Amino acid sequence: MSNSDEAKRIARQDRIARGEARRARMEREAARAQAQAQAIRAEELRLLSEVGAAKRTGLIKTLPKVRKVQPAKPGNLPVIGERIVPDPLHPGDRTVATVNLAEHPLEMMLSRKRLDQALYEAGVRYRAIYERAVIGPGRGIDPGKVKVDGGKLGDPLSDDVAGAHLELKRLSRVVGMVGERILSEVAGRGVTIADLAMSWPGSERERSKRDYLMLRFKEALDVLATEVWGARGPASARIVGARDLGGEAYDEAAVATANQRFLNRRGIVGFG
């Protein structure tokens, strides 16, 4: 046998010996870890048995189980406020009603004096038109309705829905593309100004975006309140206060506010 063959044989035996030693070391470490885990588990069981015996003998009082309650998100918490609304029991009178101001950004803006009554009523009417166009004539099930043969579902694209779509197109031409987008997001979908500012394009700071969006939102509502639905003179001003399209009922305070805004903008005095 040559020297090279002898060297290869020795190297192969050395590799085999190192591998066996490594496997033996790993087996010893695994056995040691298993023994430690078993000892820890045995100690836990011993402590649990001692605690159980102490509870049974009365040395430790059993505490009631505490139910974990998930905290509500800040955006979902109700904000209680008050509104002066027409009294449903006494036509012509007004009463104070408790409302959830967090239900819509318009309610919160009015309560914080960021919108006056005329701008609020304009936003409410735009919201009604938007919901009519998007949701359609949604109706609940009437259990008292008489069943008849041959009945069918109503037309999803009714005259009211088509009219609402046409009204939205007309209003978008009046307030412009930017105003229409802000109105549809805030007054229509109920997105807050802060949330809209986070997704609004531009490299400006978020505070600057919020100020800009609030200014444009109020400008668009002002156009709707004074030029579209609001004041055109002391006798013909009318802002619908009902939550539907049209109707005979309207908010007299909103009409008075819109009239005054119209007259002040044009420098007309003498009409109380």
Answer yes or no: is 11 within a domain: no
Question: What is the C-alpha to C-alpha distance for residues 92 and 33, in angstroms, rounded to an integer?
Answer: 84
- Structural domain contains residue 147: no
Q: Rounded mean pLDDT of 60-67?
A: 61
**Residue 195 lies inside a defined structural domain of this protein:** yes
Q: Is the pLDDT confidence value at 122 over 80?
A: yes
Within a domain: 112 = no
Interval 175-188: pLDDT, tens:
889 899 999 999 99
- Domain assignment present for 198: yes
Domain span at residue 129 reads: 118-137+156-265
Per-residue pLDDT, 241: 40
How many separate domains does the chain show? Answer: 1
Residue 128 lies in a domain: yes
Give dist(CA 165, CA 228) in Å, integer: 16
Rounded to an integer, the average pLDDT of 67-92 is: 68
Q: Is the pLDDT of residue 109 over 60?
A: yes
Domain membership of residue 79 (yes or no) is no
Find which of 72-76, 256-260, 265-269 is predicted with most confidence, using mean pLDDT. 256-260
Residue 105 lies in a domain: no
